Chains A and B, each alone.
Chain A
Amino acid sequence: MELFNSESKKIISDPINVNNPISLQVLGICSALAVTIRLDQAIIMTLAVVFVLCSSNVILSLIRNYIPTRVRIVIMLSVIASLVSVVDELLKAYLYDMSKQLSVFVGLIITNCIIMGRAEAFALKHGPSKAFLDGLGNSMGYGLIIIIVSFFRELFGAGTITLPDGGAGYVLWSIPDSWYAAGYENIGLLVLSPGAFIILGLVIWIQREFAGVEEDA
């Protein structure tokens, strides 16, 4: 099979746009709310999800013919959980500050509906290369949304833009003190979880508008 024929392209681009796991299917919302306070957290989270989702899709797709249907959930969970543990340990080893900030939310990737959903809906029915592309597309669709949400939350909520580095994050830009002196104030609501809901809702609204999705009346 060719890697970049039109079907593969569709597998990878659909979840980013017209079938986005967060904004269209509304899956994986919990982590999208929890780790979007700062941009660097969202970026690291995205990388972790890309790794876990691609690997779990490929592994499950490879062994799909040997999994008895009745116990598939258990097997899927154990594969995903081992991969998440690997990510967790890697973060603790090399990005300790980040791992402390993300705290339980790395471990909670296991319960992220997107990963189980893709394993169940796609990986168990397709070959490994397609499953890999599907995992890549879905995790990037997830990442795109949480990066957008966290960008706005951090910029307007805390007044900074932070990129990940080895330590506590590299502040790319922060609102200058002269703005604060002129009366500017950060919108404290965005740092709270309801702020994430509001931004996410607006992103979903705009995305559906562009993707041309019609709500059922």
Chain B
Amino acid sequence: MNFLRKIFEETGKYVEEGKPLSWAYPLWEAADTIFFSTNKQTSKGPHIRDNMDIKRTMFFVVIALIPCYAFGAYNIGYLNALAMDLERGLIGNTIFGLGYVIPILIATFVAGAICELTFAIIRKHEVNEGFLVSCALIPLTMPPDVPLWQVFIGTSFGIIIGKEIFGGVGTNIFNPALTSRAFMYFAFPTKISGDKVWAVGPDGYSGATALAIPANPTEYDTASNLFAANNQFDFSMINMFWGLIPGSIGETNKLFILFGAFFLIYCGIASWRIMVSSTLGLVFTALLFNLLNYLTVDGILQSGGTPNAMLTITPLQHILIGSFLFGTVFMATEPVTSSHTNTGRWIYGFLIGVLTVIIRSINPAYPEGVFLAILIMNMFAPLIDYYVVQANIKMRLSRNV
């Protein structure tokens, strides 16, 4: 440690203010705080001394994501083997998948680091570790066969437009990882619109994803029957839980996502209120739609129009198909862009669940609604907080007459 300390003290002299290399101070500071806690002291209040700084918080999120990466890599190999009729085994499949995951990861981190460092040097702020988490999340939301230059552009967009123009980590309105996901979705719809299968297969290999099957059925049936009738992939509940279905790299295995959720809640990083309330919102809206479907197809409100199979998806199926769990665990709970009051978190999460089902079921153009729902609610989070705080003030005033 002394040896390391000495290196940083020696090099630190060159980046002090007034020295010709002072522009590189943010770089030096970023490297220094990886190994040592900062010796800087705050000059103004509030004085909070805690070892749990941004760097450590962000690091825990990255740890929680590792199982998703591992399974994502395996799943790419597994689906490829399925499509090509191969037998490769666990290790072989994982190595095959890593060949797709690692380039995407590298492209994301290169783009993220370039943007973050450029802004740190121009704006003279310290390199913020938030971009590590954003960059770790972005590959997990990508299809495995996405072109790397698109990942590069999407990441740069997410970091610059989603975060840096608002002033960096802590002042951004939108989740940077979701901003880049939304940009990619609208900019390159042929690659990631989410209705075609995302799997690395032979040329022209294609099929409908779990979400697109009830969205575009050849003839109306309930979602469960439509899933059962699909013989390309096994869309049974248990298989969707284990995640052996096509999808974005990180979202398919629900067990590892739940593991990440418990880890984050245990470490006190993510808010369990948001996760629980968004699930409640999803279940509530899905049940409402099931009822609506029952009334319009079999019940008293029969209209004779074509029924929407998306309305028949049960709440459990809504949780298992698509990336709802991934979004609500890792994206919606982002501390900066979510609500900050506990009551606000319940409202914020609940509305994410509601909007997710509405966008999925009612709008045929967008098969996946989670990222749009979270971005919309990111926008409203400060407003929710404002009214929660005002309501609290009013309540206390009236109590104190």
Contact = CB atoms under 8 A, between A and B. Distances in A.
B150 A192 contact: no
B186 A185 contact: no
A205 interface: yes
Interface in B150-203: 150, 153, 161, 165, 183, 186-191
B103 interface: no
Contacts of A194: 186
B165 A188 contact: no
Contacts of B150: 185
B147 A189 contact: no
A201 B98 CA distance: 38
B187 A188 contact: yes
A187 B165 contact: no
A198 B150 CA distance: 17
Given A185-B191, A198-B161, A205-B165, A192 B186 contact: yes
A187 B147 contact: no
Interface in A160-217: 183, 185, 187-190, 192, 194, 198, 205
A124 to B, nearest CB: 38
A194 B375 CA distance: 15
Which of the listed residues A183, A187, A194, A205 has the most CB atoms from chain B within 10 Å of its own CB? A187
Nearest to A198: B161
A194 B186 CA distance: 10
Contacts, number: 22
B161 A187 contact: no
The majority secondary structure among interface residues of chain A is: helix
Interface string A142-173: 00000000000000000000000000000000
Contact of A188 (B149, B161, B189): B189
B161 A185 contact: no
Nearest to A205: B165
Contacts of B165: 205
Contact of B147 (A183, A190, A198): A183
Contacts of A187: 153, 187-188
A123 to B, nearest CB: 36
Contacts of A192: 186
A190 B161 CA distance: 15
A187 B156 CA distance: 14
Nearest to A157: B187
Interface string A58-76: 0000000000000000000
Nearest to B191: A185
B161 A189 contact: no
A189 B191 contact: no
Given A183-B147, A198-B161, A205-B165, A189 B186 contact: yes
21 contacts: A183-B147, A183-B149, A185-B147, A185-B150, A185-B188, A185-B190, A185-B191, A187-B153, A187-B187, A187-B188, A188-B186, A188-B187, A188-B188, A188-B189, A189-B183, A189-B186, A190-B187, A192-B186, A194-B186, A198-B161, A205-B165
For the complex of A and B, list the 4 residue pairs with the smallest distance between their C-beta atoms, beginning with the closest. Answer: A189-B187, A189-B186, A187-B187, A183-B147
